[in-house]
Structure 1
């Protein structure tokens, strides 16, 4: 039976291809995966892990002007992490250097043969589910004790001219206190309507960080990371159904009217659409011509 017996179009992506593309993007656009303050980004000795970036990228934390003048830095520069409440004792805000780096990310589609899930996620990977394994490293630049002993509160609590020019004082540090975490995510893909357009939406079902104690700390970190995934990262990679077949649609532009792709469930012939199976994400699409 042909894949298009029950639909106008059929498309699929294999997990091996997705993982290869991810590795390529990590080398070509490292700033999407590495975040740090300017002081850390400019000093390789402070990075938690080396960054494997393409040789075409300028070896500097400053944005280069290659590729048509578009910036392509190694790190995304972030503001220092504030020390909460410090402004009440000092005339300026006090901050810490830090970095967060996504070192590795792998996608595993059902039946899930690429890696093993931790017991908390109840392996094996269930039908119509995807899994992600990621390694995240981060660190804080804590000052040396002798520096802290020399610091005295500003008793007058007045804002000096220097503080006006530099409203944030970043405490100096010789190195970052780095750590690494292994993160596992299980999820599925849905078709949702955004305005008049169908989109593929990845949803998180469960998330687990390996070997973080105490349990309360682990739960809070997992809560934050799940929100980060669901509200920030996954919406950026959601794909409009129209974009998946855009190249084909351009070859049909001589047809009268507007061609609209529709992802329609058609059980029992197509029980799942999109379908996650055979190490692939499969999509069955019908084309509707609108006047």
Structure 2
């Protein structure tokens, strides 16, 4: 049977090339892997993405946090890289693994003996306020931990920011190995599942990477995952 089957054009990329593309994307745009609130990331740069703290009554500026993700390593069906027994890679899927570091700014909060100013629930949040100095936690004592995260997902046909046809990695399941108690493991898996869905959906790889600039592919079939490759069929 012809590689193109009923279509005019066939294009594919091997998982090795896919991982090279993902590594190049993340190296060029590291802000897609590092997120933090003002204590960690005051402004968004090419290296980091600034986000608000987690609001909580009585904590000026909210709870400050940071998450750093490693570059994901993708394994296309058929399975090559080992997975935890909870994850089974099926036809049309990919698996992945990456490191994740989560941190919070565990600072001491000084109780102000004066009542808050009327209509100002964030009184004392202003760093220029000499009556309420911010007691920051030393960077060497930040509370952080690292995890290795495994995932399974599928590909989706999407549009890149410039309007080009692209593919995105859609996460279906996340697994963290051997964290006790089990409820804590489930909590962290849910948290990282939501985060990784959002992060990986933003890593959109243009289909021109599959055709290497040789021709214009108008996809009609795919993207498919088969034989350690992403395959597309379509017309010119």
Under TM normalisation by the shorter chain, which class is it? 0.7 to 0.9
Cα distance change, pair 103–246 in 1 and its aligned pair in 2 (3 A): closer
What is residue 108 of structure 1 aligned with on the other side? 75
What is residue 117 of structure 1 aligned with on the other side? 83
152-161 or 28-37, which deviates more: 152-161
For each residue in 1:213-258, what CA deviation from the matched residue of structure 2 results, as whole angstroms up to 9, or x when unmatched? Answer: 222222222223323333x234434568799769523xxxxxxxxx
Aligned match for 1:261, one of 218, 232, 235: 218
Q: Aligned with 2:178: secondary structure? A: coil
In structure 1, runs of 5+ residues without a counterpart are 43-60, 64-71, 88-92, 250-259, 265-272
Q: Which runs of 4+ in 1 moved over 6 A?
A: 239-246
Q: Distance in 2 between matches of 1:106 and 1:165?
A: 42
Q: Distance in 2 between matches of 1:186 and 1:23?
A: 19
For each residue in 1:6-34, what CA deviation from the matched residue of structure 2 results, as whole angstroms up to 9, or x when unmatched? Answer: 32111111111121222223332222211
Q: Tell me, yes or no, if the aligned pair for 2:168 and 2:201 is still in contact at 8 Å.
A: yes
Q: How does 1:268-279 map to 2 (within 5 A)?
A: 273-279=222-228
Q: How does 1:24-173 map to 2 (within 5 A)?
A: 24-41=24-41, 63=45, 72=46, 74-82=47-55, 84-86=56-58, 93-113=60-80, 115-122=81-88, 125-143=89-107, 147-148=108-109, 151-158=110-117, 163=124, 165-166=126-127, 171-173=135-137
What is residue 17 of structure 1 aligned with on the other side? 17
Give the C-alpha shift of residue 179 in structure 1: 0.5
Relative to the length of structure 1, the TM-score reads 0.63
Q: Distance in 2 between matches of 1:120 and 1:235?
A: 23
Q: Distance in 1 between matches of 2:133 and 2:72?
A: 35
Please say which structure displays the higher CA radius of gyration. Answer: 1
Q: Tell me, yes or no, if the aligned pair for 1:95 and 1:171 is still in contact at 8 Å.
A: no
The question of 1:188 aligning with 2:165 is answered no
Instruction: Report the structure, 1 or 2, having the larger helix content.
Output: 1
Counting matched residue pairs gives 224
Q: Distance in 2 between matches of 1:280 and 1:229?
A: 22
